[in-house]
Amino acid sequence: MSMKTPSDGYALEVRDLKMYFPVTAGLLRRKVADVKAVDGVSFAIRPGETLGLVGESGCGKTTVGRCIVRLYRPTSGDIILEGKNISRLPEREIRPLRRRMNIVFQDPFGSLDPRQSIGSIVGDPLKRHRLVQGKTAYRDRIAELFEMVGLDRNLTGRYPHELSGGQRQRVAVARALAGDPSLIVCDEPVSALDVSIQAQTINLLRDLQRKIEGLTYLFISHDLWVVQYISTRVAVMYLGRIVEIAESEQLYEKPLHPYTKALLSAAPVCDPELESTRHPIVLQGETPSALNPPSGCRFHPRCPMAQPECRERDPVLRSVGEDHQVACLLI
Amino acid sequence: MPGEDAGRAMEPLLRVENLKVEFHTERGTVAAVNDVSYDIYDGEIVGLVGESGSGKTVSQLAVMQLVRTPPGLITGGRVLFEGADLLQYPSKSREMRSVRGRKIAMVFQEPMTSLNPALTVGLQLREMLELHLGMNREASRERSVELLQMVGIPDAEKRVKDYPHQFSGGMRQRVMVAMAISCNPKIVIADEATTALDATTQLQLLELMRDLVKRLGVSLVLVTHNLGVVARYAHRVYVMYAGRIVEHGTVAQVLSCPRHPYTRGLIQCVPRPGLGDRPLISIDGMPPDLIELGSACTFLPRCPYREPTCEQEVLPKLEVVEPGHEVACHLVSKGSDPCR
């Protein structure tokens, strides 16, 4: 795809994103192959919207998130944040932009510096980007951020190990909010938490989005019901590609791609009555390696509907309805 | 469904009575499992749900006498299985060895820590067969291939010679299931066995286990925090909180009409289809510290329905609310049932 003028109206636009990781071998670490973790992903998110990104491990969803906040430098493609293409910018030009885009990781234990008090963890972006002048303003802003995420402001002097998993995740959210971001990538933010704490964190993320105008989320998760609950639109990934993307309700009620159907049917619901009427689609085999993806449609070896042509032709993502795109030859 | 009606009249296969497990730590005594009783009937699938620290895993380890002593100690209760109280036998006794892994088998969450990385899976399967069933080499070799085929591992003849790391996570867990069923057990305990797996792999494995339950007539205990898995696969369910069972009954009774405020909270705080825009109802606060458990209701500080009656220094007892459905809540006992 050629360079177009920066999109208007999108908080984030991703065009044909590719991220290949080299596989090296031998004494000289020569490159022998590529792991095509992300292989041509395109989507756009409007301001204030939440795009859910679902898929199983190894599908590339986390890599997409990390490319967007430029923890990785993508192999190719455009990442347009607020009208500016950041996909190829050098690190020093990315740094000031980190204020406006941030990431919350899955593991609230590993993502917070154990030697810093949580107040200084949250205050770090304020100092780094010189967002406040003077000590009082600094302290006030931290207190404000603590309040926003529902943490007691008296906890600022505590260290991460003194907090529960849920509290730690609130600290990570407060830190992400400190720079007044337009985009937060949430990478499995609740997966490590117990269900009762999960609900608190999900409610917090939703409330923040209602309060802060234009706050946009890319919400990456393997939990389909969490994604349905929080997302305006949902994209399903399989082996480095988006296979289906649609408005949330549409995707869950009328999934079109055979993989989406199987994935949705696999996720059990806590409702015995509903469960007794559902018919899970058991896929055969396992996800192939991204090192050597199958020819044609990547899903064809496991697809219950596969036709001979699926082995040869690689389907592209195309519109099948208002705001609904599918990559399947049979639809 | 097997177990649901058939189970009632029969004697349970396994009956756990008033089980107590403590852990002695520097901070004090942790009451991990407190007065837990439950039954497992022939051929049924039982869910055991609760959050981390609720005692669901420890209660299962205690049945198998796999609680490490010290720091852990089984301080009371009975585990009745095939006419004997297993807790009467020392952990390393012959009687216990003939039950553990043989008549009652366990599948854990992390197959990589349960399998020996230095031995081929075939050898590990054969070890079970030769040790427990006294098979000779040839028979055990044949049987181990057959077992891998039963759990849906393609190319079983070749794969028996592979080491655990050569299998994917889902396949490794299938190997664990093969080991669990290798000695024709009566009960298989799956402790978060599918939690670490992807949705479609989890489905494959759970469908396999359900199929094996039907074919081999074993009973399956699904220890999980995933209520959806219980709703889909189990016949009955026990809900644990802070080392106690707070509610149990058939899956329809407990998950469709929960009566204990904790069960209700657990169900409401999980996003599910059709929730729309309504906020998730989270359970406030945190589970209690198991060291400083008083004698009042353990859920009291977090309970949205609490009333002055609940403040009493008496633990609520499990009481029958309908046939097969028991709840431990002061309000339910009083008749002012908040969850109806």
Nearest CA in chain B to A289: B168
Is residue B291 pLDDT above 90, yes or no?
Answer: no
Is residue B340 pLDDT above 80, yes or no?
Answer: no
- Measured between beta carbons, the chain A residues lying within 8 angstroms of B201 are 56, 286
CA angle B231/B235/B240 to nearest 5° reads 70
Residues of chain B with pLDDT > 90, as a percent, come to: 67
- Residue B275 pLDDT: 82
Task: Provide the shortest C-alpha distance from residue A172 to chain B (in Å).
Answer: 19
For range B226-254, the mean pLDDT: 96
The answer to the question of residue B329 being in a domain is: yes
- Measured between beta carbons, the chain B residues lying within 8 angstroms of A222 are 198-199
Alpha helices in A43-194 (DSSP H): 61-68, 91-94, 118-128, 135-148, 165-178
- Choose the closest CB to B202 out of A226, A228, A266: A266
- Residue B284 pLDDT: 84
Which tokens belong to B119?
A: 């031995």
- Measured between beta carbons, the chain A residues lying within 8 angstroms of B277 are none
Name which of A152, A204, A250, A270 to mutate to probe chain B: the one with the most chain B Cβ atoms within 10 A of its Cβ.
A270
- Residue A12 pLDDT: 96
Which tokens belong to B163?
A: 């080491």
Is residue A6 pLDDT above 50, yes or no?
Answer: no
The answer to the question of residue B300 being in a domain is: yes
- Measured between beta carbons, the chain A residues lying within 8 angstroms of B236 are none
Q: Are A225 and B270 in contact (CB < 8 Å)?
A: yes
Task: Provide the shortest C-alpha distance from residue B320 to chain A (in Å).
Answer: 21
Name which of A109, A193, A196 to mutate to probe chain B: the one with the most chain B Cβ atoms within 10 A of its Cβ.
A196
- Residue B2 pLDDT: 46
Task: Provide the shortest C-alpha distance from residue B130 to chain A (in Å).
Answer: 31
Give the pLDDT band (50/70/90) at residue B87.
very high
Is residue B80 pLDDT above 50, yes or no?
Answer: yes
Q: A285 or A266: which carries more pLDDT confidence?
A: A266
Concatenated DSSP letters of A207-263? HHHHHSTT-EEEEEES-HHHHHHH-SEEEEEETTEEEEEEEHHHHHHS--SHHHHHH
Number of residues assigned to chain A: 331
Q: Are A224 and B199 in contact (CB < 8 Å)?
A: yes
For range B19-48, the mean pLDDT: 94
- Residue B338 pLDDT: 64
CA angle B102/B107/B113 to nearest 5° reads 110
Name which of A162, A167, A195 to mutate to probe chain B: the one with the most chain B Cβ atoms within 10 A of its Cβ.
A195
Q: Which long-range contacts (CB under 8 A, 24 or more apart) does B328-336 make?
A: B328/B244, B328/B245, B328/B246, B328/B247, B328/B260, B329/B246, B329/B259, B329/B260, B329/B261, B329/B297, B330/B297, B331/B261, B331/B305, B331/B307, B332/B259, B332/B260, B334/B309, B336/B307
For range B66-85, the mean pLDDT: 91
Smallest CA-to-CA distance from B191 within B114, B112, B108, B113 is with: B108
- Residue B7 pLDDT: 43
pTM, 2 dp: 0.89
A258-266 helix and B199-216 helix, angle to the nearest 10 degrees: 60
Q: Are A195 and B170 in contact (CB < 8 Å)?
A: no
- Residue B288 pLDDT: 86
DSSP helix/strand/coil, A68: helix
Is residue A2 pLDDT above 60, yes or no?
Answer: no
Tell me how far apart the alpha carbons of residues A193 and A199 are, in angstroms, rounded to a whole number: 9
- Measured between beta carbons, the chain B residues lying within 8 angstroms of A261 are none
ipTM above 0.90, yes or no: no
The answer to the question of residue B243 being in a domain is: no
- Measured between beta carbons, the chain A residues lying within 8 angstroms of B279 are 203, 206
- Residue B290 pLDDT: 87
Contacts of A276 (CB under 8 A, 6+ apart): none
Q: Are A275 and B170 in contact (CB < 8 Å)?
A: no
Tell me how far apart the alpha carbons of residues B182 and B86 are, in angstroms, rounded to a whole number: 22
For range A8-22, the mean pLDDT: 92
Q: Are A266 and B170 in contact (CB < 8 Å)?
A: no
- Measured between beta carbons, the chain B residues lying within 8 angstroms of A206 are 279
Task: Provide the shortest C-alpha distance from residue A34 to chain B (in Å).
Answer: 21
A138 and A125 Cβ atoms separated by less than 8 Å: no
Tell me how far apart the alpha carbons of residues B202 and B192 are, in angstroms, rounded to a whole number: 11
Tell me how far apart the alpha carbons of residues A268 and A69 are, in angstroms, rounded to a whole number: 32
Tell whether B218 is within 8 A of chain A (Cβ).
no
Task: Provide the shortest C-alpha distance from residue B238 to chain A (in Å).
Answer: 15
CATH 3.30.70.600 given to domain A12-100+181-326 = no
- Residue B339 pLDDT: 62
Q: Are A272 and B252 in contact (CB < 8 Å)?
A: yes
Q: What is the mean pLDDT of chain A?
A: 92
- Measured between beta carbons, the chain A residues lying within 8 angstroms of B272 are 225, 269-271
Is residue A3 pLDDT above 70, yes or no?
Answer: no
Q: Are A268 and B282 in contact (CB < 8 Å)?
A: no
Tell whether B319 is within 8 A of chain A (Cβ).
no
Domain parsing of chain A, residue ranges: 12-100+181-326, 112-179
Q: How far apart are the first and last CA of chain B?
A: 26
State the residue range of the domain holding B326: 260-272+279-334
Q: Are B271 and A228 in contact (CB < 8 Å)?
A: yes
Whether omega before B70 lies within 30 degrees of 0, making that bond cis, reads yes
Which tokens belong to B249?
A: 């009954």
Is residue A115 pLDDT above 70, yes or no?
Answer: yes
Distances (CA, A) of A65 to A68, A70, A79, A92, B11: 5, 8, 11, 20, 55
Give the pLDDT band (50/70/90) at residue A1.
very low
For range A204-218, the mean pLDDT: 95
Q: What is the mean pLDDT of chain B?
A: 90
Tell whether B269 is within 8 A of chain A (Cβ).
yes
- Residue A183 pLDDT: 96
Q: Total structural domains in chain B?
A: 1
For range A218-233, the mean pLDDT: 94
Q: Are A203 and B232 in contact (CB < 8 Å)?
A: no
B199 and B226 Cβ atoms separated by less than 8 Å: no
Tell me how far apart the alpha carbons of residues B254 and B264 are, in angstroms, rounded to a whole number: 9
- The model's pLDDT over B162-209, given as tens digits with 9 standing for 90+, comes to 999 998 888 899 999 999 999 999 999 999 888 888 889 899 999 999
Task: Provide the shortest C-alpha distance from residue A207 to chain B (in Å).
Answer: 9
- A37-51, A113-127, B280-294: segment of lowest average pLDDT: B280-294
- Residue B230 pLDDT: 96
The rounded Cα B285 to chain-centroid distance in angstroms is 25
For range A271-289, the mean pLDDT: 90
For chain A, how are helix, strand and coil distributed in percent, rounded to 5? 35, 25, 45
Smallest CA-to-CA distance from B52 within B227, B231, B233, B243 is with: B243
- The model's pLDDT over B102-119, given as tens digits with 9 standing for 90+, comes to 999 999 888 778 889 999
Q: Are A228 and B201 in contact (CB < 8 Å)?
A: no
Tell whether B267 is within 8 A of chain A (Cβ).
yes
Q: Are B231 and A263 in contact (CB < 8 Å)?
A: no
- Residue B313 pLDDT: 86
Tell whether B283 is within 8 A of chain A (Cβ).
yes
